[in-house]
Structure 1
Amino acid sequence: MSEPSRPGPARRSRLLRTARRWTVRLVVALAGALLGVLLLGRVEAPIGPFDATVALRPAGGGAHLDIPPLGALEVDAYDGPLQLDLQLRRVDEVRAEALATNPVLLDGVVDQVSEDLRDAVVKVSWMTALAAVAGAAGASLLLLRRPREVFLTLGVATGLVAGTAGLAAATWRPQALSQPTYTGLLVNAPSLIGSAQEIVARFDAYRASLEDLVANVGTLYSALSALPAPGGTDDTVALLHVSDLHLNPAGFDLVRQVATQFDVDGILDTGDITDWGSEPENSLITAVGTLDVPYVFIRGNHDSAVTGGLVAAQPNATVLDDSEVTVAGISVVGTPDPRFTPDKDATGDPGSLEQSGEELAEIADGLPEPPAIAMVHDPRQAPPLDGAVPLVLAGHTHEREVTELEEGTRLMAQGSTGGAGLRGLQGEFPEPLTCTVLYLDRATGALTAYDDVTLGGLGETEVTIERTVVGPPAPDNGETGTDGGTEPTGTPASPTG
């Protein structure tokens, strides 16, 4: 049996030359394709209200979403040499305004974003494929300078593009979309709002309940018409106490509706109008300037100095920082929360909170007449004000509570007028949207009554109002008045849906 013949020197030389030629073609095709992708593999596209840049970059697969200045998120959705890179550059004012003013468009915004993103990915995929093939052909023409080599390199480049697409399709992992990796400020997003699947499900339910909720507001105002302002309109000042809006658009809408329907003389906001105090959030604060009444604000622990400055820039707004303002004849003093802790797990220093309350008490004592109201964000700032002012307004806890301090000062902690913002979509029990209309005697500044307004949170459509009449102080002979000056009494009016 004869042994197989080995290739001779001439054949080996031909094989080596062929291997070298194909290696050169492959290297030229790869280099040209890479250059083409880097130069041309991107498109500008609208994604909902955003203008975005969508690109495919040599970065090892997956998707990268950049949201400056908040940070980015990455999704390990597929394998391959190219990464889908999506950068949100700016909000288009025309499209954003159309969404804000057209309920039909707003209701379909999720579907519109999905469709826009799908169209952008298809477009950038074709653009990248053409850029890779054109880059490979150009490199071959420039370096190898033979028409035959150009056609061969085109074939190699087409094979590389097809292989890349096939690898991405074969390794597609849709479940990875609910498990992104966050960077920058967005690292706090999972702890703040939960998983992507949970937040989508809860937001859909929340959005569906808003329609019923708004309808029930009409019932609320009908019941309110039977409750005249204590003391008569001429003798009473009505002030709306809100807190912890946390950027919930429904909360801003509630403020506007209640301010209009109750014909209030001013709005007192005890802080946390934002969540992170960042520049993108601050763009929504201009809604304050569209209200037709004075707006008095103190910074909460989630509000940055920039946020406070933007509120102060609104034509109707005053930001109190250890200072005093008069609203409809009612003197109000206020101090900000001394902390800036947008991380919801951060803990505060009780000493600094109490010190800020002490400094505000000194300011109140230095005024010609004692102020009627003091505004703080955290109820722990209130004890030093006991006896210095008759009424202290606070927020922060997201739980409405009225208590009386040892020296007779009434402390009213508001819930969350924004239902704690996105936090309302977290946890088993939803946060209600709350605010309170305060009625004060125009001559003395004394609190005579208040209406607690509550809108049910996620998945609920209940709307209630409860009128509480504040009784006179206890008489000097030791007999007790209506509520002894310490406990409010009244009759609730609670229309529900």
Structure 2
Amino acid sequence: MLDRLRKPSTVLVLRRGLRRLVPRWVPARRIAGVVGFVLVAVVGAWLGLMVGGRDSTPIGPVNTHMTAHFSWSGDTEIRVGPLGTLKLDTHEGPIGVTVTVDALNVTDARTIFEDPESLEGLEQWVSADAKDAIIRLVIRSAVSALLGAFILSVLVYRRKARRVAFVCGTAVAMITATIGTAAWTWNPRSVSQPQYSGLLVSAPSVVGNAQDIVAGFGDYSRSLAKLVGNVSKLYDVTSTLPAYEPDPTTIRVLHVSDIHLNPASWEVISSITQQFDVALIVDSGDISDHGSKAERRFVDAISDLPVPYVYVRGNHDSKAIADAVAAQPNALVLDDGVTKEVAGLRITGDGDPRFTPDRSVERASNEEVAAVGNAVAAGVRLAGTHPDIAVVHDPTQGTGFDGVVPLVLAGHTHQRSTKLLPEGTRMFVQGSTGGAGLRALESETPLPIQCSILYFDATTKRLQAWDDLTIGGLGLSSAQINRTLAPEETKRFEQYSRSQQADPWAGP
């Protein structure tokens, strides 16, 4: 007991330690004041940087928005619209830079594409623009941070000019040290080692192979020129898309099909879902190859997707696979023409009546598959549920929905196509989102990964437009986006529906 009483407490030990570190003539109150000055300087500079540390400027043929922000690792992040991001290890220090590529200056870009000789001046153009943009951003950020520290110090210390001056001096020292650290650790070769995310993960070469970009170039400006030139080519695709601007209420649906056990498909689907702000994913079947027990775990990746996943069984999917999909918390399996409302859309669907792996496909001809579709469509018509979309696997099965729904989504053929049926319904057949899976290895020409973003009006629930995305298959590195507007078939289907006076579709 006496030993415990004689043993100094932890607090006492800490006090003694501080007294040894800090001279006796420095009172604790002064230490607290200095800490307060530094804290006000840091918080004020941070707030100022958030407000003023940004600049919108063109760099070569692209319009960019640059922001500076506090970061533990420094670095520069380049965000290329819906395609993904590139992270560059450009510098160290507590300040990071984000460059968002907002749009392509079409006039400048087409000049480059149509006149290859103009590429010779791209290096100087991009280099000069980038240098000016960085200088402006540094100046704006420094001034904004200092101003933020000054304003906050005035609010905290009011009329105590000496304290305000001390805070401003601290802020100047921090800003100078930060800029100095970034300049000292600047890495001009960082463009040769970018980290890709989003769609660029699946096709990094759409912005140039990193090693090829810097081959034969001696400095950062040339690498940057090549990088911006390739990004411009990619943005040229989107700049030529027909004019259609989805508003915040537009319902975006990602249509996928025939994944066939390709694990790379999940990363593509996840990236597109986030980049395009998708509200719903529709899978028109053949998520597996043989429908075996071992394949059930493949569908567990559905639960990692942040939106509902609507699925119908394909001819390669067993009932066990469908049950495994249904077990996912965000998944809905449609069958027998049942209609469900998901993300504001009424969707009906039916699985493929065949199961190829056990050779039952031989006992079901196209006529029999069409007959199954006709029967299900007739049931939907009689039920009067008025679906906005019907989902099937085989397009043959979907023809019976002509005049019953405005849109039928299908797959099975591994070739994307679309057409209007006689009574105004659009048949939309998706390609293979899995590039036909591992079977693509057997083909000399690998199939591309295909999927589409469908844009629906939130009020009428009608298809307004769609973007077809095509990503290079095994061994290929390419990305294409094609937009199609769809106003006419909507009017045609509505006119047909109103003409069916005796049809239950017309409603009471």
TM-score (norm 1): 0.50
- Contact 2:242-2:484 at 8 Å conserved across structures: no
Distance, in Å, in 1 between the alignment partners of 2:413 and 2:466 is: 20
Q: Is the CA contact 1:230–1:439 (under 8 Å) kept in the aligned structure 2? A: no
Distance 1:299 1:229 in 2: 36
Distance 1:409 1:279, change over 3 A: same
Deviates more, 1:354-363 or 1:432-441: 354-363
Contact kept in structure 1, 2:257 and 2:287, CA below 8 Å? yes
2:347 aligned to 332, 348, 372, which one?
Answer: 332
State the distance in 2 between where 1:427 and 1:217 align.
Answer: 27
Q: In the TM superposition, what is the alpha-carbon distance from 1:351 to its structure 2 partner?
A: 3.2
Is the contact made by 1:335 and 1:356 (CA closer than 8 Å) also made in structure 2?
no
Shift of 1:243: 0.2
8 A contact 1:270–1:300 mirrored in 2: yes
Instruction: Report the alpha carbon displacement of residue 229 of structure 1 after superposing the two structures with TM.
Output: 9.4
Q: Is the contact between residue 265 and residue 327 of structure 1 (CA under 8 Å) also seen in structure 2?
A: no
Q: How does 1:79-90 map to 2 (within 5 A)?
A: none
Residue 209 (structure 2) pairs with residue 213 (structure 1):
no
Q: SS at 1:382's partner residue?
A: helix
Q: Which amino acid aligns with 1:330?
A: L
Q: 1:293 corresponds to which residue?
A: 307
Deviation of the 1:383 alpha carbon: 1.6
Cα pair 1:433 1:455 within 8 Å, conserved: yes
- Equivalent residue for 2:483? 467
Counterpart CA distance in 2 for 1:362 and 1:474 is 21
Q: 1:362 corresponds to which residue? A: 378
SS at match of 1:326: strand
In the alignment, what sits opposite 1:267? 281
SS in 2 for 1:342: helix
Aligned residue for 1:366, secondary structure, equals helix
User: Which residues of 2 match residues 31-430 of structure 1 at below 5 A?
Assistant: 213-214=203-204, 216=206, 230=244, 232-322=246-336, 323-342=338-357, 347=362, 348-430=364-446
Q: 1:368 to 1:411 in 2, by over 3 A?
A: same
1:463 is matched by which residue type in structure 2? Answer: A
Quote how far apart the aligned CAs of 1:456 are. Answer: 1.2
Change (3 A) 1:394 1:315: same
Bigger helix share: 2
Deviations 1:437-461 (A, max 9, x none): 0001111111100000001112221
Contact 1:419 1:457 in 2 (8 A): yes
Tell me if the contact between 1:239 and 1:439 (Cα under 8 Å) persists in the aligned partners. Answer: yes
Pair 1:445-2:461 in alignment: yes
- Call closer, same or farther: CA 1:345–1:250 in 2, change over 3 Å: farther
Letter paired with 2:293: E
- d(CA) in 2 for partners of 1:288 and 1:214? 25
Distance in 1 (alpha carbons) for counterparts of 2:388 and 2:490 = 19
Give yes or no for contact 1:221–1:261 (8 Å, CA) kept in 2.
no
- Tell me if the contact between 1:439 and 1:447 (Cα under 8 Å) persists in the aligned partners: yes
Distance 1:373 1:427, change over 3 A: same
Alpha carbons of structure 1 residues 475 and 255: separation in structure 2 relative to 1, 3 Å:
closer
The question of whether the paired residues in 2 share the 8 Å contact of 1:229 and 1:439 is answered with no
Q: Tell me which amino acid in the other structure corresponds to 2:447.
A: E
Amino acid at match of 2:255: H
TM-score by length of 2: 0.49
Residues 213-247 of structure 1: CA deviation (Å, up to 9, x unaligned): 24539969967886799453233110000000001
Whether contact under 8 Å (1:238, 1:439) holds in the other structure is yes
| Equivalent position amino acid for 2:206 in 1 | N
Larger Rg: 1
Q: CA RMSD in A?
A: 2.7
Q: CA deviation at 1:324?
A: 1.3
Counterpart CA distance in 1 for 2:343 and 2:252 is 9
Q: For residues 135-189 of structure 1, give each alpha carbon's deviation from its aligned partner in whole angstroms, at most 9, with x where no partner exists.
A: xxxxxxxxxxxxxxxxxxxxxxxxxxxxxxxxxxxxxxxxxxxxxxxxxxxxxxx
Q: Distance in 1 between matches of 2:376 and 2:455?
A: 23
1:217 and 1:418 map into 2 onto residues whose CA distance is 23
Aligned partner of 2:435: which letter?
G
